[in-house]
Homo-oligomer: A and B are copies of this chain.
């Protein structure tokens, strides 16, 4: 058989979103939200930071909450698929003229390579991680569950993805594709401008999305957060979460509903520190086609990309702000 040896092979060097650092002006209330309502477990506290993980997260932590005067996103950390893959990706970054800085690594994480995306968001790459060790009482009989299912709130199972607000979606998307091997899965191009891009290194539709920020807040290299998402796998849990959020006075942004892009069953809520948190109720759809052609929504059908069914978008959903109220 005749093989096309010029076919551009995919890069499989980045394996997963390992952890995200989130800023909160109200760390105690933010931690209350994640532990009492979302059933997460506190792993550690160091300085101004609290480390947390969901009950099916395997490592020391997947979320780091750090005190800051304003909510927002700190570092987005990726684990590579091998030590060699870590080398290859940092080399690729250097080749692209990106400055990479190595350091010892955060608690629970080994040597880490730090860099910034064009939008100014802080990213890291690493290979070595510490695994969570359950106590005898915490240990589950379910081998694929690093600890028993918690009895608090509506417990999330794992960190799913992050959505960065950026000033230039195309530039940031191309950067992630070229240096890290992300594959573009879906995007919105409205009136000739790329307004959103969903990218992944796995069959998930996205581990990271970039959303056009029309607030100006992202200007000047200070990355900001649209949302951070945790995974349930069961749509009813969105209803349960929405029920307790309403009962306990939290502010639901939008949902439950279903996105067109990603097909996710979604629910967005503001945690007490002011960050938008998405809860992901199913798996949306998974992409196994190795020759996937990105799906592009336009101004003609953009509304269905955001809301296939469920609540209409609230004003403050950034992608629809133009110009933006305070």
Interface residues of A (CB under 8 A from B): 1, 3-5, 7, 9-10, 12, 15-17, 36-37, 56, 58, 79-87, 102, 111, 113, 140-145, 148-149, 151-153, 157, 186, 202-205, 233-237, 239-240, 242-249, 252, 255-258, 260-263, 265, 282-283, 285-286, 288-290, 295-297, 301, 304-305, 308-312, 314
A79 to chain B, nearest CB (A): 7
Q: How far is the CA of A304 from the CA of B258 in the complex (A)?
A: 22
How many copies of this chain does one complex carry? 4
A218 to chain B, nearest CB (A): 27
Nearest 4 A/B pairs, CB to CB = A311-B311, A236-B236, A16-B288, A242-B309
Q: Given the complex, which residues of B lie within 8 Å of A243, measured CB to CB?
A: 149, 258, 308-309
A256-B309 contact, Cβ under 8 Å, with A1-B111, A58-B289: yes
On whether the beta carbons of B3 and A80 are closer than 8 Å, the reply is no
On whether the beta carbons of B1 and A113 are closer than 8 Å, the reply is yes
On whether the beta carbons of A265 and B247 are closer than 8 Å, the reply is no
On whether the beta carbons of A242 and B7 are closer than 8 Å, the reply is no
Q: Given the complex, which residues of B lie within 8 Å of A285, measured CB to CB?
A: 56, 144, 157, 233
On whether the beta carbons of B233 and A283 are closer than 8 Å, the reply is yes
